[in-house]
């Protein structure tokens, strides 16, 4: 269980944040839950966002913080459940940039309703409807398949 805790990051569909904690305190708290050493936590802190409290962040910034928390501690497997749901286009792009920045060397399972998001962020895409896998392939495979997607009645 210890290895799973250290290597798994999770961002649920709804933010799990505390209004009274600052961004730095959130990152510190979740890093300690993963068992990181204090010196390693300090190295990972982003100095530009430390001063904001969770209650003063916009919805998009709260979502970005939730995604960032999933990556703390060098998580090797990261589950992101609709990380851009309910955010404006600017915040959506900022979250994409964050995911792209930390994607290398990790396995990321991302659920989304947006095909453009899956295309940009995914190396492999799977379409699931009513709990059943309908199709799986690379983004270029889906680009080729687009004219024929009517067979995927969801």
The larger pLDDT score, comparing residue 100 to residue 46, is at 100
> Do 27 and 89 fall within a single domain?
yes
> Do 88 and 65 fall within a single domain?
yes
> Do 75 and 87 fall within a single domain?
yes
Contact (CB, 8 A) for 67 and 102: no
Domain that holds residue 151: 126-154
The larger pLDDT score, comparing residue 83 to residue 45, is at 83
**Per-residue pLDDT at 46 exceeds 70:** no
> Do 69 and 115 fall within a single domain?
yes
Output the pLDDT for position 85. Answer: 93
Cα distances (Å, whole numbers) of residue 8 to 108, 136, 147, 150: 10, 24, 37, 36
Domains of the chain: total: 2
CA 26/CA 46 separation, integer angstroms: 12
> Do 60 and 130 fall within a single domain?
no
Contact (CB, 8 A) for 59 and 91: yes
**Per-residue pLDDT at 21 exceeds 60:** yes
Output the pLDDT for position 148. Answer: 60
Tokens of 111: 């659920």
pTM of the model: 0.83
Output the pLDDT for position 37. Answer: 86
Contact (CB, 8 A) for 99 and 79: no
> Do 75 and 148 fall within a single domain?
no
> Do 83 and 148 fall within a single domain?
no
Output the pLDDT for position 63. Answer: 93
């Amino acid at each position: 269980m210890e290895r799973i805790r250290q290597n798994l990051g999770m961002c649920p569909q709804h933010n799990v944040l505390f209004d009274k904690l600052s961004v730095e305190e959130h990152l510190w708290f979740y890093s300690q839950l993963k068992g990181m050493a204090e010196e390693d936590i300090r190295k990972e802190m982003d100095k530009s966002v430390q001063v904001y409290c969770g209650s003063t962040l916009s919805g998009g910034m709260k979502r970005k913080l939730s995604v960032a928390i999933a990556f703390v501690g060098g998580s090797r497997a990261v589950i992101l459940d609709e990380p851009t749901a309910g955010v404006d286009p600017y915040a959506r792009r900022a979250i994409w940039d964050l995911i792209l920045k930390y994607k290398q060397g990790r396995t990321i399972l991302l659920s989304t309703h947006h095909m453009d998001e899956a295309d940009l962020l995914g190396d492999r895409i799977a379409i699931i409807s009513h709990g059943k896998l309908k199709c799986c392939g690379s983004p270029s495979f889906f680009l080729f398949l687009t004219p024929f997607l009517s067979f995927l009645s969801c």
